[in-house]
Structure 1
Amino acid sequence: MGAVLIGIAFLVPRLMDEKWRKKMNAEAAPIFGKWNVHMGWGTVPAILVAIAVVLYGPALARRIRWRSLLVVTWLTGLAWSFALVMVDGWQRGFVHVFQDPNEYLHEVGGVTDIPATLRGFSDRILDFQPDSWTTHVSGHPPGALLIFVWLDRIGLRGPTWAGIVCVLVGLTAALAVLIAVRALASEDLARSAAPFLAMAPAAIWIAVSADAIFAAITAWAVALLAIAATRTTRAPVVAALGAGVLFGFGIYVNYGLVLMGIPAVAVLVAARTVRPLFPALVGALIVAAAFTASGFWWLDGYHLVVQRYYQGIASERPYNYWVWANLAAATCATGLAVPAALHRPISLGGLRTRNGLTYLVTAAGLAMIAADLSALSKAETERIWLPFTIWLISATALLPERHKRAWLAVQATGALVLVHLILTNW
């Protein structure tokens, strides 16, 4: 079904007239990019990484020590994502993205007084004003801009450092998923998911997108909540407090991450406890109080950003296409192994097993559907939904063991085809 959905999503725009296609503002819909058959010096390394993971990934994931698995997963993801990005070349694939005038870095130099910026942030959200924020800054709460301002303040300035931080931090989301699955389900399931998380097609966008950082923030929030709820840490209260801080900061980098409250509830249900709830709420409220005291009221920002969203190309993009094509774009990011595995955790029988992985995957799917139905995600969901799709990839742990190499090959092939046929905007 995943392949059919993707095929139809690519076919429909080709069957429509030119006027309709222009409204899409996505030449290679459902992927945000343009058709461009190309190769690069990352082509051969990407193929080699793919072959290595397919041949040795599942066996290695079962055999090595847990901490070594986390390191190997992160390093493999780094090699895979960097190779995929380098198919487009260093400048076009890595640096150019953050040089775009609609990106965060465009505004960093103008932030000379952070408290004043926060106080006046909402006033600059709407478009067509002399001092309107650029597209990406206006579309997010101020926490997203602050990440790059802080990087600049500590000397990690410019597009190269922005890209490096995005990939290094973003790839840790996979580790957070493994830790959460281990705590709520089993180490065996976490080990089974590791090769798929290391070689996810999502790496195409993780390497060059601030959304990778957003995914990592909330992934670690869920992981900390999971180890607090299952008391697999010596300091469960501290872990829960840390989870709350990250959940709180998450909604101040991306309005849509309020939906990560669904996986948070799923963690507590799976662990059958509410013990971490109070310290987690305290942590989240500390973050909310800090931003509110600084002059930014989240609800004001949210209502204004909805208006800003429809001041731009979103008002033209046809919802009757994107409401289902969004799911096709997300499937491109997760790979076809995910829809092949999804029926296992979300089936009624899967829910009855009370497996923590079942709850995590189901909750992430519900969050993604809610984001889709909101009509505030029309296109670019292969990037925007990284905080949700990274959890869906863990469903691959439930694929039959004898089929895992074949599905890893499908994952790698899908990513390689995408990155060589489409010049993505991210």
Structure 2
Amino acid sequence: MSGPTATDRRRGWVPRVPELIGALLAAALVVAAVVVARRKNAVVTPLIGGMGFDFDDFASLAPLFGRWGAHVGPGTPIAVTVGVLVVLAGPSVAARMSWRPLLLVTWATTLVWTVGLAAVDGWQKGFVDKLTSRDEYLSEVGGIDDIGATLRGFSDRIVDGQADSWATHVSGHPPGAILTFVWLDRIGLGGGAAAAWLCVIVGSLAAVATAVAVAALVDRDTARRLIPFAVIAPSAIWIGVSADGFFTGVSAWGIAFLAIAAAGRRLRHDVAAIAAGLLLGFSVYLNYGLALMGLPALAVLIASRRVRPLLPAIGGALVVAGLFTASGFWWFDGYVAVQERYWQGIASARPFQYWSWGNIAALVCAVGLAVPAALSRVVSLPRVRRAEPVTLLVVAALLAVTFADLSRLSKAETERIWLPFQVWMTVATVAIGERSVRFWLAAQVVLALAINHLTYTNW
């Protein structure tokens, strides 16, 4: 019996030229963002007309939020092992395993990958203490005794400079975010470790949600091609640990349930539509920017060519909105106040002339080079006109970050803030074929490991 041929040995490791071009262009953007930030005095100040600011104060790792520093930690062997296994065995396992066990394995592997990356910085520093600083949610949990009173007075405490102004992250989000951690504390799961576990467990479920949505809108074979990339996405660095990881899982399952609802006309599909509305409605009360998840939701409805899920989904969202409003929090009051708070902080020292495109460079670091490598094969006007589901989901996510960027309310930290949109950009990787799949999986793993071992990210 003859051994494997040279072609067999190369299978999965030979990237296509258009893929390389897309990845190289994205990498060039990141390099440019790093160089400009590092040469701020010689390059950046003239570009912005002499405005005074200092990257070292707020983003010395620009375009990422963090600082340089090579290190290893207890999570290193875990992350390396998971990365190698997914590169070598991920595509074949995803192609052959039964669907439901595969979804469980997808979630478990994503969770281990995320925890491993977080623990590279040490278990205490990289995981347990991430949500316990004075700017984070847990700093306010102990002071909330009356949830009703908190909701009624929430908007009044958003603007800074008051004796009772909310901590930075609490003020920057609707009350659903802080209430999540208050409820967790009320059931006896207080403290940094429990909060971190909630974020990474729910955040890791986003990988399953994207696979479920693609399976419902296209087919399971296409979803199977997505799974290894969804599992090993560099964005896991910021899911572990940040509250945005929790937001990502909640909103992702809102879209997934909507896709399930759009797949049929039975009662269970209507129930899925209501669940979608409840989750997407709650998402808007977790993060003001998640109103933009309406774009992926619209993409699902257009791709499925069905409007039946719309009414029950809207009904579910209105239930959430009604409960918060009846409890005393008016979303639009909070949104107006948070814009004032935003410009009271370090946002005023972050020039839009840099961050308008530096944000996109940070996004590239989070989604990895496999996504821009695949975009040319997914995003095109003919595909949009044919309402191809994968294309519409990716385009919707791209539009969402474009609107967020142009709003000038996202300057830096977009590797974390845009997590809910990043998972839908990763759907583009279904276009990466068998010929190059392992090459791009390896690129994702190397990038994630490099970021986590060469820098200290703030999230």
| Alignment TM class, shorter chain as reference | over 0.9
Partner of 2:91: 58
Q: Give the unaligned 5+ runs of structure 2.
A: 1-24, 43-51
Q: Counterpart in 2 of 1:14? A: 38
- 1:174 aligned to 207, 226, 234, which one? 207
Q: 2:435 aligns with which of 395, 402, 407?
A: 402
8 Å CA contact 1:6–1:329 kept in 2: the answer is: yes
Which secondary structure does the structure 1 equivalent of 2:67 belong to? strand
Asked if the contact 2:76–2:116 (Cα under 8 Å) also holds between the matched residues in 1, the reply is yes
- Most deviating of 20-29 and 99-108: 20-29
Q: Provide the residue aligned with 2:422 in structure 1.
A: 389
Counterpart pick for 1:416 among 449, 454, 457: 449
SS of 1:253's equivalent?
A: coil
Counterpart CA distance in 2 for 1:216 and 1:99 is 21
SS in 1 for 2:134: coil
Tell me if structure 2 keeps the 8 A contact 1:141–1:298: yes
Paired residues for 1:20-419 under 5 Å: 20-22=53-55, 25-231=58-264, 235-419=268-452
* CA displacement at 1:44 relative to structure 2: 2.1
Structure 1 Cα separation of the partners of residues 117 and 155 of structure 2: 37
Number of the residue aligned with 2:18:
none
Is the contact between residue 23 and residue 317 of structure 1 (CA under 8 Å) also seen in structure 2? Answer: no
Counterpart CA distance in 2 for 1:132 and 1:374 is 24
State the shift of 1:41 in Å. Answer: 2.0
Q: Which amino acid aligns with 1:143?
A: G
Runs of at least 4 residues off by over 6 Å: none
Give the Cα–Cα distance (whole angstroms) in 2 for the partners of residues 75 and 185 of structure 1: 24
Counterpart secondary structure, 2:54 = helix
Aligned partners of 2:173 and 2:165: how far apart in 1?
13
Checking the alignment, whether the CA contact within 8 Å between 1:333 and 1:382 is kept in structure 2 is yes
The residue aligned with 1:5 is 29
Of stretches 224-233 and 82-91 in structure 1, the one that deviates more from structure 2 is: 224-233
What is the alpha-carbon distance in structure 2 between the residues aligned to residue 348 and residue 341 of structure 1? 15
Separation of aligned partners in 2, 1:412 and 1:216: 21
CA contact (8 A) 2:302 2:387 kept: no
Aligned partners of 1:425 and 1:311: how far apart in 2?
21
Partner of 2:8: none
CA contact (8 A) 1:338 1:393 kept: yes
CA separation in 2, counterparts of 1:255 and 1:339? 27
Computed over aligned residues only, the root mean square deviation of the Cα atoms, in angstroms, reads 1.3
How far the C-alpha of 1:23 sits from its partner, in A, is: 7.2
For 2:217, give the aligned amino acid. L
Post-superposition Cα deviations, 1:142-193, rounded to whole Å, max 9, x if no partner, equal 0000000000001110001000111111100111111111111121111001
Q: Which has the larger radius of gyration?
A: 2
CA distance in structure 2 between the partners assigned to 1:21 and 1:146 by the alignment: 35
One-letter code aligned to 1:117: T
| Alpha-carbon distance, 1:355 to partner | 2.1
Question: Which secondary structure does the structure 1 equivalent of 2:456 belong to?
Answer: strand
Alpha-carbon separation, structure 1, partners of 2:265 and 2:201: 26
CA deviation digits over 1:392-411, x for unaligned, max 9? 01110111221000000000
Aligned residues: 426
Task: Calculate percent identity across the aligned residue pairs.
Answer: 56
Q: CA separation in 1, counterparts of 2:241 and 2:55?
A: 25
User: What's the CA shift for 1:22?
Assistant: 3.7
Aligned to 2:21: none
Shift of 1:232: 8.0
Q: Distance in 2 between matches of 1:116 and 1:234?
A: 38
Aligned AA for 2:31?
G
Which amino acid in 2 is paired with 1:10? V
What TM-score results when the alignment is normalised by the length of structure 2? Answer: 0.91
User: Which amino acid letter does the alignment assign opposite residue 208 of structure 1?
Assistant: V
Higher mean displacement: 43-52 or 120-129: 43-52
| Cα deviation code 1:92-139 (max 9, x no counterpart) | 111221121000000001110000000000010000100000000000
Take 2:171 and 2:266, find their aligned partners in 1: how far apart are those partners? 39
Separation in structure 2 between the aligned mates of residue 219 and residue 40 of structure 1, nearest angstrom: 30
Contact between 2:53 and 2:349, CA under 8 Å: does it hold in 1? no
CA deviation string 1:228-263 (max 9, x = no partner): 111187511111111111111111110000000011
